[in-house]
């Protein structure tokens, strides 16, 4: 269909099947903030925000917010910067270092790692809040010279990702751009005041979005924080008409002028909680995003103890998928493009599990309920396809028979244990299902039972 630049028209766009099927994507935060790669450690976003907005912004756990935290007097980042680089070293001085370091970057290697991890799509930050862009835009920053990467990072990565059959999306910081606004964000009030609303910036941001769409043909437009006071429906309609299978996220809220409340773009394809997983099946498609650690950008202070292990991430993926979500898991490379081993090992661990159990994730949909448990209290999660029900067991030390509460199968049903090539014995005990776990099983993270046909309710 032909989309018009208004709410009524673009609301007819539906989430394409490929996104429902994909389930797992890789997010990448990489920029000049990757040179200092510093933030405090020990707290995730939610824990940090509980301390109050003024404390949070001064002690931001996100390394990609380095420039803003640097501008706050007395912040740990400011103290670190003075000690490490000196008072005369500006944030812009990181540009030359970054552009030298990225000569070592190998986008082919990245794409191969993402593919092996089982990712179906990749979303790259093309411009974060510091305003530094990762592609050779013809729309230059009016306040800074050469404020862009010396390589076409967006184009090179897009090519390699698509070559391996994955899809490629782009992130863009909509209303925040600290190259246009030098005032730091210190609390909730200054956060809203930091939004760029000038005609100069509106034209700049709009031009960037159209350029990204036309040049790189992204499958996802992932805007962040909010968008400038303009008719964003024009961008969305233009995009949908070029790429009907494309999607936009929900972070396109707008403020028209000082003091006005958020004005929503009354359409989005999916919502984007951050460092959060919903506790029930959501009717609307969603995608949770988070880092392997507590920061999106690489933080040199984070050690193994700060990173989630493969088992924890697999559990999060199952939890998310069972409730109609996707997991967009972030990697924060070093300035030279190398991916820290703890991050790499974490996502490759997901890939190993998906090689055996991927059919219970990819292409599935939520069942009538997301959660259940056994008589012994083992947590369960459910996913389904047209013909099969998949029961995910949140326990790896199973040695006895299990009884799943309130699950009735048809007489001719078969149960398989993914990764195990013998039939699984079972019997019905009134409304509960007894499953005999084989004693010769090689235990791995999170076993999955495949039930065919799917129980009728």
Q: What is the pLDDT along the chain (457 residues), one digit of tens a residue?
A: 899 999 999 999 999 999 999 999 999 999 999 999 999 998 888 888 999 999 999 999 999 999 999 999 999 999 999 999 999 999 999 999 999 999 999 999 999 999 999 999 999 999 999 999 999 999 999 999 999 999 999 999 999 999 999 999 999 999 999 999 999 999 999 998 999 999 999 999 999 999 999 999 999 999 999 999 888 999 999 999 999 999 999 999 886 555 555 556 678 999 999 999 999 999 999 999 999 999 999 999 999 999 999 999 999 999 999 999 999 999 999 999 999 999 999 999 999 999 999 999 999 999 999 999 999 899 999 999 999 999 999 986 656 789 999 999 999 999 999 999 888 999 999 999 999 988 877 777 789 999 999 998 7
Q: Are residues 172 and 292 in the same domain?
A: yes
Both 234 and 300 in one domain: the answer is yes
Q: Is 112 inside any structural domain?
A: yes
pTM score? 0.96
Three-state DSSP class for residue 392: strand
CB 449 within 8 A of CB 424: yes
Domain boundary among 327, 360, 393: 360
Residues 383, 327, single domain; the answer is: no
Domain of residue 282, residue span: 7-360
In a shared domain, residues 244 and 343 = yes
User: Cα–Cα distance between 160 and 149 in angstroms, integer?
Assistant: 18
Residue 356 sits in the same domain as residue 370: no
2 is a domain residue = no
Please check whether residues 448 and 347 belong to one and the same domain: no
User: Which of 306, 331, 360 lies at the terminal end of a domain, its last residue?
Assistant: 360
Q: Judge if 348 and 381 occupy the same domain.
A: no
- My answer on whether 272 and 338 are in the same domain is yes
Which of 325, 360, 395 is the last residue in one of the domains?
360
Residue 457 covered by a domain: no
How many structural domains comprise the chain? Answer: 2
My answer on whether 101 and 30 are in the same domain is: yes
Is 18 a domain residue? Answer: yes
Task: Specify whether 323 is located in the same domain as 441.
Answer: no
Q: How, if at all, do strands 420-424 and 220-224 pair?
A: unpaired
What's the distance, CA 42 to chain centroid?
20
CATH number, domain with residue 413: 2.60.40.1180
- CATH number of the domain encompassing residue 254: 3.20.20.80
CA separation, residue 263 to residues 66, 226, 229, 259 (Å): 29, 10, 9, 12
Q: Is residue 107 in a domain? A: yes
Distance CA 208, CA 212 (A): 6
- In degrees, rounded to 5, the angle at the alpha carbon of residue 186 between the alpha carbons of residues 201 and 73 is 110
Question: Are 313 and 287 found together in one domain?
Answer: yes
Pair 356, 390 in one domain:
no
In a domain, 142, yes or no: yes
In a domain, 393, yes or no: yes
Closest residue by Cα to residue 173 from 223, 230, 233, 123: 223
């Amino acid at each position: 269909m032909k989309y018009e630049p208004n709410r009524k028209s673009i609301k007819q766009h539906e989430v394409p099947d490929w996104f429902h099927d994909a389930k797992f994507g890789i997010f990448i935060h990489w920029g000049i903030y990757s040179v200092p790669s510093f933030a405090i450690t020990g707290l995730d976003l939610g824990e940090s925000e509980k301390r109050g907005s003024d404390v949070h912004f001064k002690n931001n756990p996100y390394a990609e917010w380095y420039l803003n935290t640097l501008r706050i007097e007395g912040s740990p980042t400011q103290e670190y910067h003075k000690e490490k680089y000196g008072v005369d070293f500006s944030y812009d001085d990181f540009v030359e270092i970054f552009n030298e370091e990225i000569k070592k970057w190998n986008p082919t290697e990245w794409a191969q790692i993402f593919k092996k991890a089982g990712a179906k799509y990749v979303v790259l930050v093309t411009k974060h809040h510091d305003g530094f862009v990762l592609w050779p835009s013809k729309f230059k920053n009016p306040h800074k010279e050469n404020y862009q990467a010396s390589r076409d990072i967006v184009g090179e990565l897009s090519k390699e990702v698509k070559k391996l059959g994955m899809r490629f999306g782009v992130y863009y910081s909509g209303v925040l751009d600290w190259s246009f606004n030098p005032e730091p964000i210190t609390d909730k009030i200054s956060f809203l005041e930091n939004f760029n609303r000038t005609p100069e910036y509106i034209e700049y941001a709009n031009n960037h979005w159209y350029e990204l769409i036309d040049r790189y043909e992204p499958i996802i437009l992932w805007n962040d924080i909010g968008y400038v006071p303009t008719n964003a429906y024009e961008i969305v309609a233009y995009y949908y008409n070029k790429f009907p299978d494309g999607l936009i996220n929900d972070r396109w809220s707008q403020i028209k002028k000082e003091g006005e409340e958020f004005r929503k773009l009354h359409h989005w394809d999916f919502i984007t909680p951050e460092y959060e997983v919903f506790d029930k099946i959501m009717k609307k498609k969603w995608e949770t995003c988070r880092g392997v650690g507590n920061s999106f950008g690489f933080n040199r202070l984070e050690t193994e103890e700060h990173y989630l292990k493969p088992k924890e991430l697999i559990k999060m993926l199952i939890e998310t998928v069972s409730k109609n979500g996707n997991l967009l898991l972030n990697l924060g490379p070093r300035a030279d493009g190398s991916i820290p081993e703890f991050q790499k090992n974490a996502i490759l661990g997901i890939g190993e599990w998906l090689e055996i159990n991927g059919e219970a994730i990819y292409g599935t949909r939520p069942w009538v309920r997301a959660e259940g448990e056994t008589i012994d209290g083992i947590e369960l999660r459910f996913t389904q396809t047209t013909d099969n029900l998949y029961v995910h067991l949140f326990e790896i030390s199973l040695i006895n028979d299990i009884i799943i509460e309130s699950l009735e199968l048809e007489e001719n049903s078969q149960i398989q244990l993914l990764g195990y090539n013998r039939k699984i014995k079972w019997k019905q005990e009134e409304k509960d299902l007894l499953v005999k776990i084989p004693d010769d099983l090689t235990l791995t993270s999170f076993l999955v039972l495949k039930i065919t046909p799917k129980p009728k309710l």
